[in-house]
């Protein structure tokens, strides 16, 4: 791969920081790197490969001469700067929800549908973190044993809502331990020692936005309107790395537990953690900071053993759920 001129938009945020870390760890060939953020963060110095890089205020001219722009600055900012990026001949890899369901914009998980990246018109969308992690726990089986229906319950970490939510989790936990009152600012409810429905708007059917992203994005990535998804998305008091419990119903033949283990163990980006004897299965704590998604607790659905399997998956939301997936997309380019 030839060295690329890369721009990171939203460099000072949680995902922006991970963009730089992933580029380093993957030894991504970079001719130059520019870091962009709001005026408030401009002038801040951030280290990349041992060098200090000064964060610049993002403007419409920031993308001239660049090859790839990694965006994690929010949907409104992505929409605002799309034309400036594409007019500059740069490809935007966008981590927001702005373009995911747009018909002419590829929605890509590189291990699953890399060929879709070739169809871009200047923008490639990074799927939602919960969708990426879900499909890393489904697609290795779906390739050989077509899936009909998914019932998924998520256990989503604070990292999905950024640094402020992660800090609020720490603060609310300290307050609970000290038996002190706590008024949440970032989240709708106190986060420490608590669970609550994902903090996105609820539609007329009772589903929140995060759940509907999983429904719609799964169909687009897998190129199938046949697969139906029944999701429940919950915030849990974990700093980073989402976990998901997935019930997988198959169209016809159901893989045996051993077949499923072999398929997961051989799939790139997945690590099998399935030790019944030691009761050791995927955990957010162990998945945090890891590129792989951890899959385990593979077992037949007792209510319909001839139709479905249960699996459990944990994946770092800031990595495979965001920055890593985006950089993998950039590598495809």
pLDDT digits (tens, 9 = 90+) for 117-165: 999 999 999 999 999 999 999 999 999 999 999 999 999 999 999 999 9
Is the CB of residue 239 less than 8 Å from the CB of residue 160? no
What is the per-residue pLDDT for 170?
97
Tell me what pLDDT residue 279 has. Answer: 98
Amino acid 10: pLDDT: 96
pLDDT number for residue 292: 98
The overall average pLDDT reported for the chain is: 97
Q: Are 55 and 20 in contact (CB under 8 A)?
A: no
Above 80 in pLDDT, residue 1?
Answer: no
Mean pLDDT of 211-233: 97
Residue 129 is a catalytic residue:
yes
Q: Residues 47-62: what's their mean pLDDT?
A: 96
pTM: 0.96
| Across 246-250, average pLDDT | 98
3 state SS for the chain = CCCEEEEEECCCCHHHHHHHHHHHHCCCCEEEEEEEECCCCCCCEEEECCEEEECEECCCCCCCCCCEEEECCCHHHHHHHHHHHHHCCCEEEECCCCCCCCCCCCECCCCCCHHHHHHCCCEEECCCHHHHHHHHCCHHHHCCCCEEEEEEEEEECHHHHCHHHHHHHHHHHHHHHCCCCCCCCCCCCCCCCCCEECCCCECCCCCEHHHHHHHHHHHHHHCCCCCEEEEEEEECCCCCCEEEEEEEEECCCCCCHHHHHHHHHCCCCEEECCECCCCECCCHHHHCCCCCEEEEEEEECCCCCCCEEEEEEEECCCHHHHHHHHHHHHHHC
The answer to whether 9 touches 72, Cβ cutoff 8 Å, is: yes
- Using a pLDDT cut of 90, give the percent of the chain over it: 99
Mean pLDDT of 181-201: 95
Domains and CATH numbers, the chain: 4-126+322-332 (3.40.50.720), 132-317 (3.30.360.10)
Chain centroid to CA 231: 16
pLDDT value for 46: 97
90, 129, 233, 293: which one is catalytic? 129
pLDDT number for residue 132: 98
Average pLDDT over residues 90-103: 97
Which residues share a beta bridge with 59?
Answer: none
**pLDDT tens column, 262-318:** 999 999 999 999 999 999 999 999 999 999 999 999 999 999 999 999 999 999 999
* Catalytic residue status for 293: no
- From CA 54, how far away is CA 62, in angstroms rounded? 14
Beta bridge partners of 73: none
Q: Which of 90, 120, 242, 293 is catalytic?
A: 242
- Mind listing the pLDDT tens digit for each residue in 105-130? 999 999 999 999 999 999 999 999 99
């Amino acid at each position: 791969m030839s060295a690329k001129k890369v721009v990171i938009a939203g460099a000072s945020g949680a995902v922006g920081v991970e963009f730089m870390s992933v580029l380093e760890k993957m030894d991504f060939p970079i001719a130059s790197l520019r870091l962009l953020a709001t005026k408030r963060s401009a002038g801040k110095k951030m280290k990349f490969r041992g060098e200090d890089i000064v964060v610049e205020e993002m403007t419409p001219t920031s993308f001239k001469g660049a090859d790839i722009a990694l965006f994690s600055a929010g949907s409104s900012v992505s929409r605002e700067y799309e034309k400036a990026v594409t007019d500059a001949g740069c490809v935007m890899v966008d981590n927001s929800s702005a373009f995911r369901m747009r018909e002419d914009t590829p929605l890509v998980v590189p291990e699953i549908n890399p060929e879709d990246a070739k169809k871009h018109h200047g923008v490639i969308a990074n799927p939602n973190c919960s969708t990426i992690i879900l499909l890393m726990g489904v697609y290795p089986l779906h390739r050989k044993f077509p899936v009909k229906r998914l019932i998924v319950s998520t256990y989503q970490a604070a990292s999905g809502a950024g640094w402020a939510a992660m800090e609020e989790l720490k603060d609310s936990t300290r307050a609970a331990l000290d038996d002190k009152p706590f008024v949440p600012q970032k989240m709708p409810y106190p986060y420490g020692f608590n669970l609550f429905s994902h903090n996105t708007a609820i539609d007329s059917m009772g589903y929140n936005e995060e759940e509907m992203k999983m429904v719609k994005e799964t169909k687009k990535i897998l190129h199938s309107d046949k697969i139906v998804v029944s999701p429940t998305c919950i915030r849990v008091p974990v700093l980073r790395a989402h976990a998901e419990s997935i019930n997988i119903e198959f169209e016809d033949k159901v893989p045996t537990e051993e077949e499923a283990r072999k398929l997961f163990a051989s799939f790139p980006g997945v690590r099998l953690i399935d030790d019944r004897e030691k009761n050791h299965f995927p955990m957010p704590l162990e998945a945090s900071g890891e590129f792989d998604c951890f899959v385990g607790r593979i077992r037949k659905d007792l209510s319909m053993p001839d139709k479905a399997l249960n699996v459990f998956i944990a994946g770092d939301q800031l990595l495979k759920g965001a920055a890593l997936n985006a950089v993998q997309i950039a590598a495809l380019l």
